[in-house]
Chains A and B, each alone.
Chain A
Amino acid sequence: MMVMTVEQAVTWVEKTNALVQSNKEYLTELDQAIGDGDHGLNMSRGFQEAEAKVSSSEYETVGGVFKDTATVLMSKIGGASGPLYGTAFLKMSMFLRDKPSVTQADFAGAVEEALNGMKQRGKAEQGEKTMIDVWHPVADFLKNGQNVNAGKLVEVAEKAMEGTKDTVATKGRAAYLQERSKGHIDPGSTSSFYLFQALADVWKEGE
């Protein structure tokens, strides 16, 4: 059974930041193809600041780590990812409230809340070539509760991200391109993949 401690929550943000920084150029390339080309820069700035904040603060709860992460992401990411990732972390913190450590079921509930919050914020559903396409199957996978492990998590998230390549965008900047958005992986689903890959790395260290 997977659990999450305060320390692991902080490590999750740090590992996500490391992945975002080393893939900054790639995220930019993806966004230049079908968006406005600022995703790499925005994510790198946002997670750099989020890591700086959570690494230098003391927390009693996982929810506290997520709340600060949300606040920083909201104010530091300039693009659509700011309100979306901000909402995701805020909803997770609200769901977990003052629990000092979270069980797998708690965490699954938090991710589902995050997904619902993002769907509402972005007025998007699954299959519109957005980050929802990664969050949705990951939330389902966690909720299912069977065989939840690091390897499977990466598998589910990666497959979902790659699936955005063949879809036509109906939300976000890429929607203006209509059919021409096909054949490109969605940048937001890629950064969401990094987030869950980082989570899997956190879990692996605990296994």
Chain B
Amino acid sequence: MANTGIVLISHSPKVAEGTRDIISEAVKNVKVVPAGGTEEGDIGTSAPKIQQAVEEADDGNGVLLLYDIGSAGMNAEMAVELTDTERCHVAEDIPLVEGGYVAAIEAGMGKTAEEIIASLRKSFRLE
């Protein structure tokens, strides 16, 4: 059974890719796709670019999206609305690097995006 995919959204392509590198060292059985920067690769985020990453990360078991600051969260939500990929969820208010790491480990255990969000919220003391 395929695992939940992870999309890492940052204003900076380097932050998104660097975070993916950190995670990939520890987690091998989860698709982790960076979606950093604008379409031109400048600082910012882009809903279509995130949508593309979601579709790439999906193996049929849904996708969890994590983001850094400001507008990244809005573009993440837009991407979820734009895509036909099912079971996509945005992890709100979860730090990108630490949260992404925890999320990938849990995805590797076969958890769904919703289960991962619930456990992230506990880990980061949001509930």
Interface on chain B toward A: helix, strand, loop, or mixed SS?
Answer: loop
Q: Cα distance A42–B45 when bound, in Å?
A: 11
Most chain A CB atoms below 10 A, which of B69, B70, B71 = B71
Q: Cα distance A168–B69 when bound, in Å?
A: 20
- CB <8 Å contact, A78 and B78: no
- CB <8 Å contact, B70 and A78: no
Q: Chain A nearest CB: distance from B74 CB in Å?
A: 4
Contact A75 B48, CB 8 Å, known A80-B74, A82-B71 = yes
Give the segment of B2-10, B21-29, B35-43, B113-121 that binds chain A. Answer: B35-43
Number of B residues near A (Cβ < 8 Å) is 18
Q: Chain A nearest CB: distance from B78 CB in Å?
A: 5
Shortest Cβ distance from A80 into B: residue? B71
- CB <8 Å contact, A172 and B70: yes
Q: Cα distance A81–B74 when bound, in Å?
A: 10
- A172-198: CB near B (< 8 Å → 1, else 0) gives 110000000000000000000000000
- Report if A38 contacts B (CB, 8 A): yes
- CB <8 Å contact, B46 and A75: yes
Contact A74 B45, CB 8 Å, known A86-B78, A121-B77 = no
- CB <8 Å contact, A78 and B43: yes
Residues in B with CB closer than 8 Å to A173 are: 69-70
Contact of A78 among B38, B69, B77 (CB under 8 A): B38
- A23-36: CB near B (< 8 Å → 1, else 0) gives 00000000000001
- Report if B47 contacts A (CB, 8 A): yes
Residues in B with CB closer than 8 Å to A76 are: 39
Q: Chain A nearest CB: distance from B25 CB in Å?
A: 30
Residues in A with CB closer than 8 Å to B75 are: 82-83
Q: Chain A nearest CB: distance from B46 CB in Å?
A: 6
- CB <8 Å contact, B39 and A82: no
- CB <8 Å contact, A83 and B47: yes
Shortest Cβ distance from A42 into B: residue? B44
Residues in A with CB closer than 8 Å to B39 are: 75-76
- CB <8 Å contact, B42 and A83: no
- CB <8 Å contact, B78 and A38: no
- CB <8 Å contact, A74 and B44: no
Shortest Cβ distance from B76 into A: residue? A83
Q: Cα distance A38–B12 when bound, in Å?
A: 14
Q: Cα distance A74–B43 when bound, in Å?
A: 15
- Report if A108 contacts B (CB, 8 A): no
- CB <8 Å contact, B78 and A83: yes
Q: Cα distance A82–B106 when bound, in Å?
A: 32
Contact A122 B48, CB 8 Å, known A38-B43, A75-B39, A78-B38 = no
Residues in B with CB closer than 8 Å to A80 are: 70-71, 74
Residues in B with CB closer than 8 Å to A86 are: 47, 78
Given A42-B44, A78-B42, A80-B71, 6 other A-B residues pairs in contact with their CB atoms under 8 A: A74-B46, A75-B46, A78-B37, A78-B46, A79-B44, A173-B69
Cβ-closest 10 pairs across A and B:
A78-B44, A80-B71, A78-B38, A83-B74, A75-B48, A83-B78, A74-B47, A83-B75, A79-B71, A121-B74
